[in-house]
Amino acid sequence: MTHCTPAQTAVLNTLRQQNQPISAQALHGQMRTQQRIGLATIYRALDALKRLGRVQHRTTLAGETLYNTVEQDQHYLTCLHCGQSFPLKACPLKGLQLQPQPSNSFEVFYHTLEFFGLCQPCQVETTPEEKHLEV
């Protein structure tokens, strides 16, 4: 219990090789070609890594959960109309200092940050009254 199990290590390494967040099932499909591993073990490993602060996840509009390592500090603009996601070039929180918090010493491992709105092409198909903030 002191360190990662073999499965956890394997999952973490496979996640590191991805250049995009990936679902648990896709991860399984990818890993099982290399080694014998059960889907339940993937979920167990992802959960453990999550609680260790090594892996994070986001949920797409379609409802699928995508995992990635905390190191790849990546955020997306997601279009509410067509569902496409566009990666940000940099993390907007880089170098940002959080205000002192409730118990004033919460230890932050990582964060999730996503933006939702309309991509360029989808904006034209939208009525003016629905428009909000331009960025």
Partner DNA sequence: TTAGAAACGATAATCATTATCATTTCTGTA
Partner DNA sequence: TACAGAAATGATAATGATTATCGTTTCTAA
Binding-site ranges for DNA (CB under 7 A): 1, 5-8, 23-25, 35-41, 43-45, 47, 63-65
- Specify whether the CB–CB gap between 41 and 7 falls below 8 A: yes
Among 33, 34, 51, 62, binds its own copies (CB under 8 A): 51
Q: Which of 24, 70, 26, 29 is nearest to 47 (CA)?
A: 24
Task: Give the residue with the Cβ less far from DNA, 41 or 118.
Answer: 41
Given DNA, its own copies, Zn ion, none, residue 82, with its beta carbon under 5 to 8 Å by kind, binds Zn ion
Among 52, 61, 82, 93, binds Zn ion (CB under 5 A): 82
- Three-state DSSP at 93 gives coil
Q: How far is CA 44 from CA 9, 20, 25, 63, 101, in A?
A: 12, 21, 13, 20, 31
Q: Which of residues 83-122 bind Zn ion (CB under 5 A)?
A: 119, 122
